[in-house]
Amino acid sequence: MIADTGPKSRPFGSFDPPSTAKLVILSVASLGFYQMYWLYSCWAGMNETGYKKTIPWLRVLLYPLFALSCFRWIESVAARDGLKTKWSAGFLFSAFFILTCCSLLPNPYGLLSLLNFVPMITANLLAVYVNERDIPGYEPDNAYPFGDYAIITLGVVFYVLVWGCSYAMNYLLKNAPGYFDSISPDMHQLLLSIYGN
């Protein structure tokens, strides 16, 4: 967590990068909504530090298009501290954008979009490293308030339900073909294409 040590000692303003574990867990559990929150926090930090004036909530609406500015901001702050990154902001943004656009692909390939947090890990680690150098006693945000636990719980329930329904449909299609006699042939074919035969 960032201690209140004054604005000059906080290179990213109020943006408090989470630990890698928290970033991964909440990104997966929230089905991508935590990535939007992470980007929103970056844009809010940009405003506070004077790097770029933005309207964070407006950018969140089209976040795949504006995420590059967050990666560039973190990269520029690190460069100011003399830190060089292995992956450029452009590369991280490209990977993020491509993975996000995978949501438009047919199943199961659309699930790749759930991995769009992976490029964020590198940028997040860089922000953590900058804070560790600039803020005495700094530790990344690893706290899980009630809201985070609620997101994780709902995410687990959602994944269990999706997996259970998929398993049940696959089982019925294979072992109880008469179960679907009352539906149209087109719908039966659709179910077969989704769950196999």
pLDDT grade for 177, boundaries at 50, 70 and 90: low
Say which range, 22-31, 61-70, 163-172, has the weakest mean pLDDT. Answer: 163-172
What is the pLDDT of the chain when averaged over all its residues?
84
pLDDT grade for 5, boundaries at 50, 70 and 90: very low
Residue 118 near residue 20, CB atoms below 8 Å: no
Residue-level pLDDT at 48: 86
Residue 101 near residue 19, CB atoms below 8 Å: no
CB-neighbour burial class of residue 123 (10 A; exposed 0-12, middle 13-18, buried 19+): buried
Determine the average pLDDT of the residues in 57-70: 91
Q: From the centroid of its chain, how far is CA 111?
A: 13
pLDDT grade for 147, boundaries at 50, 70 and 90: very high
Residue 121 near residue 23, CB atoms below 8 Å: yes
Tell whether omega for the bond before 7 is within 30 degrees of 0, i.e. cis.
Answer: no
Determine the average pLDDT of the residues in 124-130: 92
Round to whole Å and give the CA distance between 97 and 17.
Answer: 20
Residue-level pLDDT at 117: 95
In terms of Cα–Cα distance, which of 39, 42, 35 is closest to 13?
Answer: 42
> How many other C-beta atoms lie within 10 A of the C-beta of residue 181?
7
Residue-level pLDDT at 172: 72
What residue ranges do the domains of the chain occupy? Answer: 7-143, 155-195
Query: Is the per-residue pLDDT at 4 higher than 60?
Result: no
Q: Who wins on pLDDT, 33 or 187? A: 33
Say which range, 76-90, 109-123, 144-158, has the weakest mean pLDDT. Answer: 76-90
Query: Is the per-residue pLDDT at 22 higher than 80?
Result: yes
